[in-house]
Amino acid sequence: MQQLRLAIRFCPPKEPWGSQRTFALNFLPEFLRLAPDALVFTSLDPKWLPAGTRVEYAENPLLVKGTTRKILALLRYQTRFSARLRSLGINVLFCPFNNEGLIYTQGIRQVLIVHDLIPLVYPKDFPWTKWLWRFLYAPAIRQSKRIITVSEHTKKDLIQMVRYPAENIDTIFNGWSAGQISARSHANHPYLLCVSSSHYPHKNIERLLRAFALLKAKIPHELHIVGSPTPRFTASLLKLVVDLELQCRVRFMNSLSGIQMSQQYANAEMLIYPSLYEGFGLPILEAMAAGLPVCAGHCSSIPEVAGEAALYFDPEDVLSMASAINILLTDAGLRGRLLTAGYSNVQRFSWRKSASECMKTCEAACY
């Protein structure tokens, strides 16, 4: 076994968003605590990183504007970065997001985290990203010494769709941060909460709106849908809200701060998680930790994360979804049992545990 000489590459947008922000704030500090000598190649302002972190600036080629410039930036990165690592004596490259993986490793042992394969599962919705997967991401995965997936479901997809050997894959769950949770209080208007990173069709928001419409005469609640608009799909959702006469009952919310998001959890009646496909499903843990009962689709990785602490429905059946929501609102005993189970369930997950297991995978790559 060689001595581990580790580099980390993490180049999100200048202001990290979504899962990248979560990893910047929670995973990286825990991982760097275990690898204080690691060199971090990043586009982040160093203020995002623990004091004393060894940092070298690096751009994310995918964020370069203009197709030609983007392609040239990708080529430069793929052909030059491994040589830079070799010149520094680095023998293992760890990328918390697989889109930064190398095709030309030149002897550098690469460890990537694969969070999901959504563009391969729904290629029509990701016309650009599916080609990146075919010609860049999948080849980089195949050149990796080891791969980390965040759920067994993602591992299964990776084996089937990328043909990566199962024996070189470690499933390591994400964690959750107790510091992001606010104390529960009472909102002026009761509401149900859906947290979705986007409005892509696999997030299943259309069926959620139809299920909510079936209940609107029975319950006084609003529906809050937190997530970034997706231009190709958001317009049809807004039109559906009008068609279903839900204008006064549905609120789409975007760009919430960490405090605002924790307040949404604190004041909601429940989390509804209707997604058809998730690599992990972090909002489930955040909701449980905040004391929310969870109502979720029984599919993809969701049962791995929610365990026995959620009320499940068929995410492709609007009536099943509406029935589950109504049951959870009206059955106080069930709500209490799920709340207790939820608090217990989140104890299975932590960023410290995730970082520790990822470090073991990086060490194993030296063999």
Question: Residue for token digits 């001595």?
Answer: 3
**Per-residue pLDDT tens for 181-208?**
555 665 678 999 999 989 999 999 999 9
Q: Which residues contact 148 (CB under 8 A, 6 or more apart)?
A: 111, 112, 113, 114, 169, 170, 171, 172, 358, 361
Mean pLDDT score across all residues of the chain = 93
Kindly tell me if the per-residue pLDDT of 237 is higher than 80.
Answer: yes
Kindly tell me if the per-residue pLDDT of 241 is higher than 90.
Answer: yes
CA 8 from centre of chain: 19
Kindly tell me if the per-residue pLDDT of 329 is higher than 70.
Answer: yes
CA 342 from centre of chain: 19
Q: What is the largest CA-CA distance in the chain?
A: 67
* Alpha-carbon span 119 to 233, nearest angstrom: 16
**Per-residue pLDDT tens for 280-321?**
999 999 999 999 999 999 999 999 999 999 999 999 999 999
Nearest to 324 by CA among 204, 194, 196, 211: 211
Length of the chain: 367
**Per-residue pLDDT tens for 91-102?**
999 999 999 999
What amino acid is encoded at 35 in this protein? A
Partner residues linked to 191 by β-bridges: 222
46 pLDDT band, cuts 50/70/90, is confident
* Alpha-carbon span 53 to 39, nearest angstrom: 7
Contact predicate 16/48, CB 8 Å: yes
Q: Which domains does the chain have, with CATH numbers?
A: 6-175+350-364 (3.40.50.2000), 178-348 (3.40.50.2000)
